[in-house]
Structure 1
Amino acid sequence: MKKLPRFRQAAMAAAMVLTLLPATALAAEVDTTAGYNGEALPAGPDMTGDVVDVTPENAQYTLDGAYGSIDGKTIRFTAGEYEDVLVLARPTKYEGSNTEYYNMSWTEGNGWFVTDDVPDALEDLTSTITTYKRTVEGVTFTAEEGVVLPGFSAGSGHVYGMAGSPAYDYVRDQEVLSSVNSYYGHNSLVDVTFQGLTLRGGVFIADYSRDAVNSGITFDGCVFLGSEAEMATNGYNGIKMSADSKYFSDITVTNCTFTKYFQAVYIQGVDGAAITNNSIDGTTHNAVALQSSSGNPLKGTVEIAENFIENTQDRAIRVGNALAEFQLTAVNNVMVNAGDTDGQLFKAETLPEGSEVVLENNYWAGRTAEEAVANADIRPENTGIIGGTFLKEITAEYCAAGFVPVEKEDGTFGVCDHALTERTGVKEATCQAEGYTGDLVCSKCGAVLETGSAVAKTAHHYVDGKCTVCGTDDPDYAPEGPDGPTVPSEPDDTTNPGTGDTDSLPVWISLFAAGVALAGAALSGRKKPCGR
């Protein structure tokens, strides 16, 4: 066995000696009713309801459990200037943090290990090097409109400081100047949601401990503002989850926007994720990177779908080494002005037999599948999107053959093939109102494909002098009298007076006399033949 250098041996010996000393010999008694380092504890929020409104003054102390447990609650950040990155799930001295703490010991064969004498209270924490465990579970983080947060961080591992750069132990409320009074933090985030937040920085979660768990972490509708000045800095990410041998499981990033980061989403050690419906504009490196180390090759089911990715200076999607149980579906993504110097937009490192990658129906910045996908054996047969909901406008060039862009009622964008249609708004014409043939509408997306036309009014349908539809009177209706229908009289063609027509008798007598006179005149006008 290789021997340690003399100074390392001396330091280790000192650490072992100090481990046997009471903690009270090294630090003052911990006051769990005050702030850190002797400061006054700010006035706390009302913790009785499901929603807890915090301010810049008490936000971090609330997250630390100073006013009670935050598990199962919604933490809402109210108006004000939040200057420091907010730390999640760190172990603290406060009972509301539900921190578990353990003494440790060291042997040459086992190194540092947790002892069996579990402390019941802080005063029983007697070893110089300790272990803490804390889990934050079922918490949702929201904010009032207009609030901009600097970002969040959470980390697990061996915490120690050094000369000029001390760390801090928030359980024993003291500086950590070296490994001698350091601690191991196992800090877990379980079923935690970041909802509708605006962040000028990012969210960084590191897991370098054995017992920490990070699962069910969701980012929904968040705005990551980024910085043009910092986007070239490696590690300046919108979301960064980093581990060497641990996994981040069931991670969701949806409906978020990222602008000007080194990478938008970086997860090293993924076990199941959904990265969907996001808008990513401007990255120095990849837009989405699912990486791995030798201790955490990719596994689980991962979906990368319906993202609008533009202005990346490297591949849009990068995947590391995977296990056989890894399944990736990356479909209906739009990539514009993106790719590395060779024009590639997707690359996976190693994909063993049994793993599966589906890359169908993406728009690859106008490139062919051969140009866009580095791995020949997983290149798609079809390009162009055939579905999805996008935060940015879709144009015809992004669509697969037979599909067209559409704008949805909620202001988002998508595509459709209009394969299912129906007539809506059909109206029958009546004697009172025009009808309508109805619009031809796509049943899938709601788009109006053909506008209907008006139908002329119908004629009235009269029965017994009234329209049976609207009740309008028939202007030509003749009601039936007691002796039958009353028929309007017609003019008489005869020249003879009707019976009983005494008023016209003098006229007829005059006409008769005139006729006789004319006849007589005719007879007297005839001459007899001569000689007869």
Structure 2
Amino acid sequence: MTKNTTRKALLTSVLSLMLCFSMLIGTTFAWFTDTVTSAGNIIKTGKLDVEMHWAEGSEAVPTADAGWTDASSGAIFDYDNWEPGYVQVRHIRIANKGTLAFKYNVSIIANGIVSDLAKVIDVYYIDPAKQIEERADLTDMPRLGTLTEVLAKLGETGNGILEKDESDVITIAFKMQETAGNEYQEKSIGSDFSVQLFATQLTFEGDSFDDQYDVDAPVATYKVNPSNVQDYLDGKYGSTTNMKLVLEAGDYGVLYLGRPTKYAGSNTTYVCGQGTLHTGSFETTDAETFKAHLADNKWHTTPQYTTTVENLMIVGEDGAKVAGLIHSTGHSYGDVYDYVRDIDYDAGSAYYSTSYISDVTIENVAFTGKIDINTSDANTVIDGITFRDCSFTTGGTASANGAAIRYYNEANNGKVKNLTVENCEFNSCYQGIYTGHINGISVLGNTFDTLGHNAIALQGGGPVNFKTVVIKNNVMKNVADRVIRFNEVGADSQITIQYNAAVNSGNSAGEVIKATSIANGATFDVQYNDWGGKTVANDELKDKANTEATYADDNTGLNAALTSGAGTIILGSGEYIVPDSASGKTLTLVGNGETKITAQNDGASEGNGDYSFHSSTVTFENITLTSTGTYHPGYPYMIGTFNNCTLNGVWSLYRSATFNDCTFNVSGDLYNVWTWGAEAATFNNCTFNNDGKALLLYGTANTKLTVNGCTFNDNGGLADLKAAIEIGNDYGKSYELIVNDTVVNGYEINDKGINTGSTLWANKNSMGTDKLNVVVDGVDVY
């Protein structure tokens, strides 16, 4: 499915209340429906699409669309001089404009601290909508309570179910109580508020068997800010399972993940092991019931809390800075706070905690403090924590600054596992990643710079069966100790270390990697690394000589390897220019993350191409390639495969090209890639960064362009309206575009040619279906 991360924010604000409306739609699964008729098959993806409009509540409910105002176009409430008896009323229309049935919930929530003024604002919720012609009409209307009371009842304001093309209309009224005294003059609520509409896909559309195939679809996406994010993580506004939090730009404090709280959304079970009045354990999932159980002035054992968090995603908008993240279970005592019973302890035993944490992903967050995920509880399971596209600093390289990421299990029992750190940056930390007694770690494509100790440490108090360890494509610069450190490697450890580079790193003895001991049975795949001339302490951790490869550290060595007929060439760190001796060959070039190749402008009349690989078939691994010029740059007449590469500038393709897990970067009014002379161009799991246009399907060949699992990022700046993939034709050629599971962030609908209504692709030269076929997620859209 083509996803567009631009959400329709149904804004806005009021009065000194600053009441803002925003629409937050829950994440959903997309699926195919298949209708078979005598005319053939129709296959289309479902769509969850909800709209909100408003109208003046003192007037009749509009029957025509013209009487409604789009809630995203401006303020819904606009009065700022409230006084006792004042009323504002609005009709709110919620409409299902998609193809999927959904259930919705309307809630009024605070985004920060609330003042006493909320105690004298009455809230009315009228369903179905009704015209309120005068204040007295509210007398018999359903009153939810004061604003203070409503804020304490998240999810109880209103709800409903809408099928395709249906709509509901409600009326919301706010009234300041006539009895409000002078003490409320010139007061504001003290915070802003949101009326949030949560729309969640309903298990309604049936397949061949029932309507339950989408019953487990993820529930809700919430946009949060520094003042309310911890409330969401604590479960105040709904379950922390199947939840996505989008952090708006701002400075956040330390966040606490999966701590036990009194909220049902924390998914906490409360247990009293024994008490004067019971010999067996007392267990409940209701915090108030549990507190009442402990309030009988009898003896009870220390409470035990068990919390579950599953499938949680935290995504930062640009500018979201977080001072740290903590998850800790075990025995809490001394100076601690019990968020279940709201008790602040200075000493003594507070509670014991266990957690079951799985599938937590954190993306695009700038961490300015430490991540500490740890347990001293033997029953806790932490399985699957991923950090992707994040940055980390602990503010210095002294030992007191600690590790940027600590992933620790006090027991060596295999229950803390599967940490993934991908495409992140670590700068100015004591350590990068420190683990203790864990199973499974992947460290992929990161940069570590200026560290006082190790970049990656896998430790334990004895032999640890690390299971699967993958350390690939990392660059480690200015690391004052070994870049990778193992303590005792257990027999059940499968360790892969490939395509890494160390620059100005290592301990005082010149070592970059060491294990204290390695048990028989552990396996290793270590190759294609450049340790900057430093040593590796253990034979098992040394790069295995590749008898089929030739090593080169500079341009002279590269030319010599090519001249000698080498097929696989491993390139060390540095900058390279490919010589003409590379033409007419089948080659594999392997880099280490710090290997850089510049494609030259050979000055040919055809454009800015580099003909060094003319008539060659070349595979590039883990290399940064930069083009020269903007008119047909690249490597003409080469068949290319690019794996885990970064390509900067504009690239024109010839013959055929395949890109796997690559990143493309360009700025200005330029495409990342022209297909030009390629008969086939395939992009798998790639990321395109540009200022408003990414791929141009255009050129002198009949071309099949396939795009699978890619992300297109529009940084903005283009005057013209361009889609992510533009299609044009001046040569009478035929094109096929196949797109699957692609994310489009930004871009525009091109107003030239045939309007596709899509920011994913544009038919700017109005090609007919006889020359152009476009298939998106299995659906023939053109």
Uncovered stretches (5+) of structure 2, i.e. residues with no partner: 1-150, 155-189, 200-219, 295-299, 553-567, 578-586, 600-611, 619-634, 656-782
Which protein is bigger by CA-based radius of gyration?
1
Instruction: Supply the distance in 2 between the matched residues of 1:100 and 1:170 (Cα, whole angstroms).
Output: 13
Question: Runs of 4+ in structure 1 displaced over 4 angstroms?
Answer: 32-35, 40-45, 383-390, 400-409, 417-420, 446-451
SS in 1 for 2:231: helix
* Structure 2 residue 374 is matched with structure 1 residue 206: yes
Instruction: Supply the distance in 2 between the matched residues of 1:134 and 1:77 (Cα, whole angstroms).
Output: 23
SS in 2 for 1:122: helix
Instruction: Supply the distance in 1 between the matched residues of 2:448 and 2:438 (Cα, whole angstroms).
Output: 20
Instruction: Supply the distance in 1 between the matched residues of 2:544 and 2:358 (Cα, whole angstroms).
Output: 39
**CA distances 1:479-530 after superposition (whole Å, capped 9, x unpaired):** xxxxxxxxxxxxxxxxxxxxxxxxxxxxxxxxxxxxxxxxxxxxxxxxxxxx
In the alignment, which residue of structure 2 is the partner of 1:421? 616
Q: Is the 8 A contact 2:394 2:430 kept in 1?
A: no
* Structure 2 residue 325 is matched with structure 1 residue 152: yes
* Structure 2 residue 246 is matched with structure 1 residue 80: no
CA offset at residue 396 of structure 1?
A: 5.0
Tell me which amino acid in the other structure corresponds to 1:279. Answer: T
In the alignment, which residue of structure 1 is the partner of 2:575? 395
Q: Is the 8 A contact 1:103 1:119 kept in 2?
A: no
Residues 167, 327 of structure 1: CA spacing in aligned structure 2 closer, same or farther, 3 A cutoff? same
Instruction: Supply the distance in 1 between the matched residues of 2:569 and 2:337 (Cα, whole angstroms).
Output: 50
Query: Where in structure 2 are the equivalents of 1:431-510 lying within 5 Å?
Result: 439-445=636-642
CA offset at residue 56 of structure 1?
A: 1.3
Residues 351, 143 of structure 1: CA spacing in aligned structure 2 closer, same or farther, 3 A cutoff? same
In the alignment, which residue of structure 2 is the partner of 1:233? 399
In the alignment, which residue of structure 1 is the partner of 2:359? 191
Tell me which amino acid in the other structure corresponds to 1:232. Answer: A
Structure 2 residue aligned with 1:348, among 515, 520, 534?
Answer: 515
Q: Is the 8 A contact 2:498 2:529 kept in 1?
A: yes
Uncovered stretches (5+) of structure 1, i.e. residues with no partner: 1-31, 108-112, 410-416, 424-437, 452-532
**CA distances 1:215-249 after superposition (whole Å, capped 9, x unpaired):** 11101111113423xx2124621111122215421
Instruction: Supply the distance in 2 between the matched residues of 1:130 and 1:243 (Cα, whole angstroms).
Output: 22
Q: Is the 8 A contact 1:226 1:238 kept in 2?
A: yes
In the alignment, which residue of structure 1 is the partner of 2:228? 58
* Structure 2 residue 431 is matched with structure 1 residue 263: yes
CA offset at residue 143 of structure 1?
A: 1.6
Q: Is the 8 A contact 1:101 1:125 kept in 2?
A: no
In the alignment, which residue of structure 2 is the partner of 1:332? 499
CA offset at residue 52 of structure 1?
A: 0.3
Instruction: Supply the distance in 1 between the matched residues of 2:194 and 2:460 (Cα, whole angstroms).
Output: 41
SS in 1 for 2:321: coil
Structure 1 residue aligned with 2:478, among 311, 314, 321?
Answer: 311
CA offset at residue 332 of structure 1?
A: 1.0
**CA distances 1:48-101 after superposition (whole Å, capped 9, x unpaired):** 25320112111111110111112112101113332x201010000011111111
Instruction: Supply the distance in 1 between the matched residues of 2:571 and 2:313 (Cα, whole angstroms).
Output: 25
Q: Is the 8 A contact 1:332 1:387 kept in 2?
A: no
* Structure 2 residue 458 is matched with structure 1 residue 290: yes
In the alignment, which residue of structure 1 is the partner of 2:268? 99
Q: Which has the higher strand share?
A: 2
Q: Is the 8 A contact 2:370 2:405 kept in 1?
A: yes
Q: Is the 8 A contact 1:42 1:58 kept in 2?
A: no
CA offset at residue 155 of structure 1?
A: 0.3
* Structure 2 residue 117 is matched with structure 1 residue 117: no
CA offset at residue 444 of structure 1?
A: 2.0
Q: Is the 8 A contact 1:119 1:125 kept in 2?
A: no
CA offset at residue 298 of structure 1?
A: 3.4
**CA distances 1:245-301 after superposition (whole Å, capped 9, x unpaired):** 15421111110010011111111112111101001101100000011123x713211
Residues 203, 377 of structure 1: CA spacing in aligned structure 2 closer, same or farther, 3 A cutoff? closer
**CA distances 1:282-337 after superposition (whole Å, capped 9, x unpaired):** 1100000011123x713211100110001011000001212211111111100010
In the alignment, which residue of structure 1 is the partner of 2:625? none
* Structure 2 residue 530 is matched with structure 1 residue 363: yes
Q: Is the 8 A contact 1:292 1:298 kept in 2?
A: no
CA offset at residue 395 of structure 1?
A: 3.3
CA offset at residue 448 of structure 1?
A: 8.5
CA offset at residue 359 of structure 1?
A: 2.2
Instruction: Supply the distance in 1 between the matched residues of 2:616 and 2:279 (Cα, whole angstroms).
Output: 67
Q: Is the 8 A contact 1:44 1:58 kept in 2?
A: no
Residues 418, 444 of structure 1: CA spacing in aligned structure 2 closer, same or farther, 3 A cutoff? farther
Instruction: Supply the distance in 2 between the matched residues of 1:288 and 1:63 (Cα, whole angstroms).
Output: 29
In the alignment, which residue of structure 2 is the partner of 1:221? 389
* Structure 2 residue 258 is matched with structure 1 residue 89: yes
In the alignment, which residue of structure 2 is the partner of 1:481? none
In the alignment, which residue of structure 1 is the partner of 2:336? 167
CA offset at residue 422 of structure 1?
A: 5.4
SS in 2 for 1:57: coil
SS in 2 for 1:123: helix
* Structure 2 residue 537 is matched with structure 1 residue 374: yes
Residues 418, 253 of structure 1: CA spacing in aligned structure 2 closer, same or farther, 3 A cutoff? farther
Residues 449, 98 of structure 1: CA spacing in aligned structure 2 closer, same or farther, 3 A cutoff? closer
| CA RMSD, 1 decimal | 3.9
Q: Is the 8 A contact 1:418 1:444 kept in 2?
A: no
* Structure 2 residue 304 is matched with structure 1 residue 131: yes
Residues 332, 146 of structure 1: CA spacing in aligned structure 2 closer, same or farther, 3 A cutoff? same
Q: TM-score, normalised to structure 1's length?
A: 0.63
Instruction: Supply the distance in 1 between the matched residues of 2:364 and 2:439 (Cα, whole angstroms).
Output: 25
**CA distances 1:363-414 after superposition (whole Å, capped 9, x unpaired):** 01123xxxx1111354333396989999xx85359xx9965745699xxxxx
In the alignment, which residue of structure 1 is the partner of 2:238? 68
Q: Is the 8 A contact 1:103 1:114 kept in 2?
A: no
CA offset at residue 177 of structure 1?
A: 3.0
Q: Is the 8 A contact 2:496 2:524 kept in 1?
A: yes
Q: Is the 8 A contact 1:361 1:382 kept in 2?
A: no
CA offset at residue 208 of structure 1?
A: 0.8
Q: Is the 8 A contact 1:62 1:70 kept in 2?
A: yes
* Structure 2 residue 211 is matched with structure 1 residue 48: no
Tell me which amino acid in the other structure corresponds to 1:217. Answer: I
Instruction: Supply the distance in 2 between the matched residues of 1:128 and 1:348 (Cα, whole angstroms).
Output: 44
Tell me which amino acid in the other structure corresponds to 2:234. Answer: D
Q: Is the 8 A contact 2:273 2:282 kept in 1?
A: no
